[in-house]
């Protein structure tokens, strides 16, 4: 039985023979004058024993209790069982209860749930509320009888109608979950209330939960908190957790993270896994307690080791990022897997990412895709986005633009910024969906409003080019700036170009150079070329041919054709570098092979002019160098 208060061996209220303190002083005085009386009083149980041996059932029950507790006789559960049985077989209800308890726990008799249930029934049929409860419990859990929820509810009802708080709670539970009775939240709440008003902590919590969820009573967070608090103050762990949650989420009380931590702590110390996880969150994020990653890990571990999937996920996250514990991808993988196997969608997605990047495990795109799908099918936006991504790139599963768009759309509709951006790109390029610039801009804008830098730069381009949005240079400059300030190199370059041209902003060469430099420092070739141009002509920076040449060279090495032509010219002319036709030919050949149309014709013509001054051996060497450079550039 789960509620041991119902299973205690108990004395009858009329038992007056078990305590010397209740013997009259007058009787003791008379006993001093009467040796025979003294002898009788020397054994406080002598009268009870005599009555019991003569067949008095109440005396047999009292004598059994004396042996059970060791009061006036050596403690002996076997002797207690003997006397309880004698009384029980005469129909003495209290003895029937006590004999049932002994069989329940195997005290003085072999443990036998069926025999225990038999004696509870004997007492229950005499109207003993506690035994009606015990028999209901036996039917609920199939202890000593075949499990039968309807029979359990019937016995709980008999006890509940006598005012037995535990039975009232259990009957409420039966109505809430439809066990043995039709599900009826209002009836459940009614019985919970009866038990709660008697101070039953489990019922107080359940009644509070009814108000919290609005099941059987009007939803009322303040009323829920009132009952949670009553139960919490009696040490009920679920109620302590519920009260902490209410304080944390401003449900029925003003938000108070410190108060939440107090109650989470009370429940966590009792081993409540949800509370341990929430306490870990409090320390991890510094809400209600000083941020302390090590303490967060302590509580996450306690909950994780109890099998709490959320804590296992958090523990894995901590190991993957080295917060509160040394970074350890293998350990992260272990905890992600534990949570993933419990169908925790976030853990499934992170386990997929571990396989995708080969963190803590051998890289395996197919296994990554398998876990992404599990998360996606549970509705995880991150999992849906990742599954769309591997479909788009054909990693671990066949390349499929239509499937990619399907999963991007699901994630995008949940507000996943990365998916919104990539769905916008699909519409822009017409991959997996018909090309539609306006729809592309719609999804780019959704992501941009969430601060997604790439999407902000794409919205800016839409306003700049008029593709999918009315052309508006001012709006373009605004979005380029948002993305640029987040470090997006393309947006930094574009914002530099905007200031250089004075379109959408006042022309400002110094501001242009500032943003070009930020992009150039990120190895953005166009920005490197135009920063070189700024130094060449002294626009926004002091004119400096050497600095110009340095940036042109950087751009050329990143594959910028105009910069490659510039570097070629310097080697051809011997302009502050030794004249070198091989280098001149190599750089112009790279420019020609990386260009199209008229530009390619121009560079090819120049290459021919340089070749006219070279030997066949020099040309071959230049072509070899150009091939090596192209391999480095990946083309």
- The DSSP line for 299-348 is HHHHHHTTT-HHHHHHHHHHHHHTSSS---HHHHHHHHHHHHTTT-HHHH
CB-CB neighbours of 601 under 10 Å:
12
- Condensed to tens digits (0 to 9), the pLDDT of residues 544-558 reads 999 999 999 999 999
- For the record, the structure tokens of 589 come out as 């050949």
Confidence band, pLDDT 50/70/90 cuts, at residue 10: low
DSSP tag of 578: -
The pLDDT of residue 634 is 78
Q: Helix H segments across 183-251? A: 185-197, 201-213, 221-233, 237-249
The pLDDT of residue 127 is 96
The packing angle between helices 113-124 and 129-141, to 10°, is: 140
Q: Which fold has domain 1-147?
A: 1.25.40
On the question of pLDDT at 38 being above 70, the answer is: no
The pLDDT of residue 9 is 65
The pLDDT of residue 485 is 98
The pLDDT of residue 19 is 29
On the question of pLDDT at 237 being above 90, the answer is: yes
- The DSSP line for 156-177 is HHHHHTTT-HHHHHHHHHHHHH
Question: What is the Cα–Cα distance from 562 to 551, expressed in whole angstroms?
Answer: 12
Confidence band, pLDDT 50/70/90 cuts, at residue 390: very high
Long-range contact list for 41-44, CB < 8 A, 24+ apart?
43/72, 44/17, 44/18, 44/19, 44/20, 44/72
Give the pTM.
Answer: 0.80
% of the chain beyond a pLDDT of 90: 91
On the question of pLDDT at 406 being above 60, the answer is: yes
The pLDDT of residue 513 is 98
Output b/e per residue, 24-53; b: 16+ Cβ within 10 A.
Answer: eeeeeeebeeeeeeeeebeebbeebbebbe
| E-strand stretches of 4-77 | none
The pLDDT of residue 35 is 42
DSSP tag of 394: T
CB-CB neighbours of 363 under 10 Å:
12
CB 381 within 8 A of CB 348: no
318 burial type by CB count under 10 A (0-12 exposed, 13-18 middle, 19+ buried):
buried
The count of C-alpha atoms lying within 13 angstroms of the C-alpha of 400, restricted to the half-sphere facing its C-beta, is: 12
Question: What is the Cα–Cα distance from 575 to 87, expressed in whole angstroms?
Answer: 120
CB 185 within 8 A of CB 159: no
Tokens 């090495």 label which residue? Answer: 557
Tokens 């967060």 label which residue? Answer: 296
- Condensed to tens digits (0 to 9), the pLDDT of residues 468-515 reads 999 999 999 999 999 999 999 999 999 999 999 999 999 999 999 999
CA-CA distances (angstroms) from residue 56 to 59, 74, 108?
5, 22, 22
Confidence band, pLDDT 50/70/90 cuts, at residue 42: low
The pLDDT of residue 41 is 54
CB 361 within 8 A of CB 354: yes
- Condensed to tens digits (0 to 9), the pLDDT of residues 282-319 reads 999 999 999 999 999 999 999 999 999 999 999 999 99
Q: Name every residue whose Cβ is closer than 8 Å to that of residue 12 and which is 6 or more positions away in sequence.
A: 58, 61, 62, 65, 94
The pLDDT of residue 12 is 58
Between 33 and 154, residue with greater pLDDT: 154
Question: What is the Cα–Cα distance from 19 to 622, expressed in whole angstroms?
Answer: 114
On the question of pLDDT at 218 being above 60, the answer is: yes
SS3 assignment, position 126: coil
- Condensed to tens digits (0 to 9), the pLDDT of residues 132-166 reads 999 999 999 999 999 999 999 999 999 999 999 99
Question: What is the Cα–Cα distance from 111 to 9, expressed in whole angstroms?
Answer: 15
Question: What is the Cα–Cα distance from 348 to 350, expressed in whole angstroms?
Answer: 5
Dmax over CA atoms of the chain, in Å, equals 148
% of the chain beyond a pLDDT of 70: 93
The pLDDT of residue 44 is 76
Confidence band, pLDDT 50/70/90 cuts, at residue 27: very low
The pLDDT of residue 205 is 98
Mean pLDDT for the chain?
93
Rg of the Cα trace of the chain?
41
Q: What share of the chain is helix, strand, coil (3-state, %, to 5)?
A: 70, 0, 30
- With CA atoms as reference, report the closest residue to 187 among 203, 202, 206, 174: 174
Confidence band, pLDDT 50/70/90 cuts, at residue 324: confident
The packing angle between helices 365-377 and 381-393, to 10°, is: 140
């Amino acid at each position: 039985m789960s509620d041991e208060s119902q299973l205690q061996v108990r004395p009858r209220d009329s038992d007056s023979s078990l305590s010397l303190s209740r013997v009259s002083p007058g009787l003791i005085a008379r006993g001093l004058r009467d040796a025979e009386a003294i002898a009788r009083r020397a054994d406080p149980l002598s009268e009870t024993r005599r009555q019991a041996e003569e067949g008095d059932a109440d005396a047999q029950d009292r004598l059994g209790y004396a042996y059970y507790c060791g009061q006036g006789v050596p403690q002996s559960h076997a002797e207690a069982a003997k006397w309880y049985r004698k009384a029980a077989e005469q129909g003495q209800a209290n003895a029937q209860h006590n004999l049932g308890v002994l069989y329940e726990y195997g005290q003085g008799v072999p443990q036998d749930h069926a025999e225990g249930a038999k004696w509870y029934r004997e007492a229950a049929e005499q109207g003993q509320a506690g035994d009606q409860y015990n028999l209901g419990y036996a039917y609920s859990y199939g202890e000593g009888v075949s499990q039968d929820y309807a029979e359990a509810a019937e016995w709980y009802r008999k006890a509940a109608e006598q005012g037995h708080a535990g039975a009232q709670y259990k009957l409420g539970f039966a109505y809430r979950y439809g066990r043995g009775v039709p599900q009826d939240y209002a009836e459940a709440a009614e019985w919970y209330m009866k038990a709660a008003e008697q101070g039953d902590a489990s019922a107080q919590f359940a009644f509070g939960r009814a108000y919290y969820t609005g099941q059987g009573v009007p939803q009322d967070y303040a009323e829920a908190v009132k009952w949670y608090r009553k139960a919490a103050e009696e040490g009920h762990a679920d109620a302590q957790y519920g009260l902490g949650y209410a304080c944390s989420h401003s449900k029925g009380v003003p938000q108070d993270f410190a108060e939440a931590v107090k109650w989470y702590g009370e429940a966590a110390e009792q081993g409540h896994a949800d509370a341990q996880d929430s306490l870990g969150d409090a320390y991890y994020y510094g809400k209600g307690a000083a941020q302390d990653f090590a303490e967060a890990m302590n509580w996450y571990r306690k909950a994780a080791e109890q099998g709490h999937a959320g804590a296992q996920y958090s523990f894995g996250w901590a190991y993957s990022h080295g917060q509160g514990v040394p970074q350890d991808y293998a350990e992260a993988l272990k905890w992600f897997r534990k949570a993933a196997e419990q169908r925790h969608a976030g853990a499934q997605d992170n386990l997929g990412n571990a396989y995708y990047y080969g963190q803590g495990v051998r890289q395996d795109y197919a296994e990554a895709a398998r876990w992404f799908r599990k998360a996606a099918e549970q509705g995880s936006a991150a999992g849906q986005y990742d599954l769309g991504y591997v479909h788009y790139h054909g990693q671990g599963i066949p390349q499929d633009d239509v499937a990619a768009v399907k999963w991007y759309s699901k994630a995008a509709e949940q507000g996943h910024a990365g998916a919104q951006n990539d769905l916008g790109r699909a519409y822009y390029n017409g991959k997996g969906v018909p090309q539609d610039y306006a729809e592309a801009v719609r999804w780019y804008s959704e992501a941009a409003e969430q601060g997604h830098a790439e999407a902000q730069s794409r919205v800016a381009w839409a306003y700049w080019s008029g593709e999918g949005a009315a052309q508006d240079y001012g709006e373009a400059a605004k979005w380029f700036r948002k993305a640029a300030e987040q470090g997006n190199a393309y947006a930094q370059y574009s914002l530099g170009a905007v200031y250089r041209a004075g379109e959408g902003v006042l022309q400002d060469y110094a501001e242009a150079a500032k943003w070009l430099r930020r992009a150039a420092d990120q190895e953005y070739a166009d920005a490197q070329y135009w920063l070189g141009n700024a130094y060449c002509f002294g626009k926004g920076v002091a004119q400096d041919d050497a600095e110009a040449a340095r940036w042109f060279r950087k751009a050329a090495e990143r594959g910028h054709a105009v910069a490659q032509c510039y570097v070629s010219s310097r080697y051809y002319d011997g302009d502050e570098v030794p004249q070198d036709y091989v280098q001149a030919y190599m750089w112009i050949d790279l420019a020609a092979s990386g260009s199209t149309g008229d530009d390619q014709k121009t560079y090819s013509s120049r290459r021919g002019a340089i070749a006219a001054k070279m030997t066949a051996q020099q040309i071959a060497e230049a072509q070899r160098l150009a091939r090596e450079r192209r391999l480095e550039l990946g083309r």
